[in-house]
Amino acid sequence: MSSDDEIVVLTGGGRGNIPGSRRYNCTQCGKKIWLAPSGQSLMAAKPDILLLCMACSRQAAAREPDVKYGVTRAALREFDAWKKRN
C-alpha cells in the first residue's frame, strides 16, 4: 500500500445508523461494512479507493502513518446530524 491510497472508514458500528448507508465489503478482509452517503459519492468519484472496515483501517494506519482517511470526518458529521434529529 502506498501513501497515495485513500482509506475509507465506516462509522455507525456496522449497523448502518446513517440514513442512506449501503452495505459494501471491506477491500482487505471482505467483512460487510456500511458506507455512508458521503462515502458512496467518494467511491463514485474515485472508484479505486480502498474501502476498509475499522479493524483493517487501524492496521493500515499503523503500517502507513501518513495514510489518508477519505471520508471519516464527513461521515461523522452525517452521523452527528442524524443523532440530533433523533
* Residues near Zn ion (CB under 5 A): 26, 28-29, 31, 53, 56
> With respect to Zn ion, which residue has the nearer C-beta, 22 or 83?
22
Nearest Cα to Cα of residue 21 among 31, 35, 33, 7: 35
Task: Scan for cell 467511491, then name that residue.
Answer: 43
Report residue 78 as a C-alpha cell. 452525517
> With respect to Zn ion, which residue has the nearer C-beta, 49 or 53?
53
Least CB distance from residue 68 to Zn ion, whole Å? 17
Task: Scan for cell 500500500, then name that residue.
Answer: 1
Q: Characterize the bridge pairing of strands 68-69 and 50-52.
A: unpaired
Least CB distance from residue 24 to Zn ion, whole Å? 11
Least CB distance from residue 83 to Zn ion, whole Å? 25
> With respect to Zn ion, which residue has the nearer C-beta, 26 or 75?
26
Query: Helix or strand or coil: residue 24?
Result: strand
